[in-house]
Amino acid sequence: MHPVLATIFKRVGLGLLTLFVVSVIIFSAVNMLPGDFGEAVLGQAATEETVAAFRRELGLDQPPITRYFQWVAGVLQGDLGTSFSGRAASGVDRSRPVVDLVMPRLENTLFLATLTAVIAVPLALFLGITAALWRNSFYDKTASAATLTTISFPEFFVAYILILVFGTLYPVFPSLATVQPGMGFWDRVYTSMLPAMTLTLVIVAHMMRMTRAAIINLLASPYIEMARLKGESPRRVILRHALPNAWAPIATVIAFNLAYLVVGVVVVEVVFVYPGVGQLMVDAVSSRDIPVVQACALFFAGTYIILNLIADVIGIVTNPRLLHPR
């Protein structure tokens, strides 16, 4: 078997093993959350017999290992379970499948992540390339200082600053990203602009600095020195010689940051009350809705593992030592 295919299969197997371990951690962590859904619904005045009967109806009386394998078997079949919300002590079941709750929120989260990526990736590449082109200049130092500043601030602090500036002092964008079903595309973009700007400021700093570092590292290569000795201009050296060979590390950095983008939307969605998976997960934790919490956590973990796996594969298929083994 070709070394590239063998390495890719190993990475995929490792990714599946990681997802299995993460699923165990998710199930264990969710079941260790303080409080009990049955007691939260029935209230403190409920008798132990009533609570036990209610837990039996929800299947919470079964051993954890049995519930874990039932959950995994359902996930493999596309069944994420049924939400606990809507169940009442009277026996009336108004609960909904978890898929019906997650999918609309998932569309909103992916829309926000895509909008952020469309803004952040070209901006980060432009800043990283130009900073490498004018290395140690005033522009380079200013861009590096600005990116270090944005990295040092937590996401919620950046979000509140943007709300203060663009939502209160200069009301350009709405402070709350209340996305409604059936909303037009541009209305959705306008409403989601502040959370997209928050995420953009966070991930642009990482991508810009890594892009700059990758290009500067390549500028010390012998073939770059030969191009300079031939009289090539600095711009041509970067665009024609350094940049094509820097796409592999740059693509890896982009994949890692997109993984962080999808997972990091939780805090931003809560700040802006954006109806995404992150907000749904926080609400489910508050109401102790175990199936919804497990589904949201599994989505974030699976997305992060898949995007990191894509980054690994990109690094493998662009490695000349693997593509041309001796």
Q: How far is CA 7 from the centre of its chain?
A: 25
Least confident of 13-17, 34-38, 70-74, 212-216: 34-38
In this structure, the answer to whether residues 319 and 206 fall within a common structural domain is no
Q: Rounded distance, CA 76 to CA 82, Å?
A: 15
The tokens describing 21, both together, are 């371990």
In this structure, the answer to whether residues 108 and 92 fall within a common structural domain is no
The model's confidence at residue 321, banded by pLDDT at 50, 70 and 90, is: low
Is 166 part of a structural domain of the chain? yes
Q: Are 93 and 316 in contact (CB under 8 A)?
A: no
The pLDDT value given to residue 87: 56
The pLDDT value given to residue 304: 83
Q: Which amino acid is present at 181? A: P
Is 43 part of a structural domain of the chain? yes
Least confident of 54-63, 170-179, 267-276, 287-296: 54-63
In this structure, the answer to whether residues 48 and 129 fall within a common structural domain is no
Cite the DSSP H helix spans in 153-233: 155-162, 185-191, 193-218, 222-229
The predicted-structure confidence for 255-281, as pLDDT tens digits, reads as follows 777 777 777 778 888 888 888 888 888
In this structure, the answer to whether residues 170 and 239 fall within a common structural domain is yes
CATH number of the domain enclosing 196:
1.10.3720.10
In this structure, the answer to whether residues 67 and 208 fall within a common structural domain is no
Residue 221 φ then ψ, to 5°: -75, 155
Helix 277-286 / helix 290-317 crossing angle, nearest 10 deg: 140
Least confident of 132-146, 161-175, 208-222: 208-222
The pLDDT value given to residue 94: 57
Is 163 part of a structural domain of the chain? yes
The pLDDT value given to residue 38: 64
In this structure, the answer to whether residues 113 and 152 fall within a common structural domain is yes
Number of domains present in the structure of the chain? 2
Is 60 part of a structural domain of the chain? yes
Least confident of 26-30, 148-152, 216-220: 216-220
In this structure, the answer to whether residues 268 and 135 fall within a common structural domain is yes
The dihedral of CA 25, 28, 30, 34: what is its sign?
A: negative
Q: Are 237 and 228 in contact (CB under 8 A)?
A: yes
In this structure, the answer to whether residues 108 and 31 fall within a common structural domain is no
Q: What rounded mean pLDDT belongs to the chain?
A: 79
Domain that holds residue 303: 1-96+287-326
Choose from 3-12, 20-29, 55-64 the range with maximum mean pLDDT.
Answer: 20-29
Supply the Cα-derived Rg of the chain in whole angstroms. 24
Residue 23 DSSP SS3: helix
Q: What is the DSSP string of 234-274?
A: HHHIIIIIIHHHHHHHHHHHHHHHHHHHHHTHHHHHHHHT-
Is 55 part of a structural domain of the chain? yes
In this structure, the answer to whether residues 146 and 67 fall within a common structural domain is no
pLDDT at 204 over 50: yes
In this structure, the answer to whether residues 86 and 135 fall within a common structural domain is no
The pLDDT value given to residue 37: 62
Helix 193-218 / helix 243-263 crossing angle, nearest 10 deg: 150
Q: Rounded distance, CA 309 to CA 99, Å?
A: 25
Least confident of 20-29, 104-113, 206-215, 255-264: 255-264
In this structure, the answer to whether residues 175 and 234 fall within a common structural domain is yes
The predicted-structure confidence for 229-256, as pLDDT tens digits, reads as follows 787 777 777 777 776 677 777 777 777 7
Is 212 part of a structural domain of the chain? yes
The model's confidence at residue 90, banded by pLDDT at 50, 70 and 90, is: very low
The pLDDT value given to residue 43: 62
Tell me which residue has tokens 């130092």: 141
Is residue 220 within a helix (H) or strand (E), and if so which, with residue range? none
Q: Rounded distance, CA 75 to CA 7, Å?
A: 28
Q: Which comes out higher in pLDDT, residue 239 or 113?
A: 113
In this structure, the answer to whether residues 15 and 90 fall within a common structural domain is yes
**Residues with Cβ within 8 Å of residue 58, at least 6 apart in sequence:** 37, 38, 84, 87
Q: Are 297 and 24 in contact (CB under 8 A)?
A: no
Is 282 part of a structural domain of the chain? no
Is 114 part of a structural domain of the chain? yes
Choose from 116-120, 143-147, 203-207, 265-269 the range with maximum mean pLDDT.
Answer: 116-120
Strand partners, 87: 93
pLDDT at 89 over 50: no
- Among 236, 256, 277, which residue terminates a domain? 277
Predicted TM-score of the model (pTM): 0.78
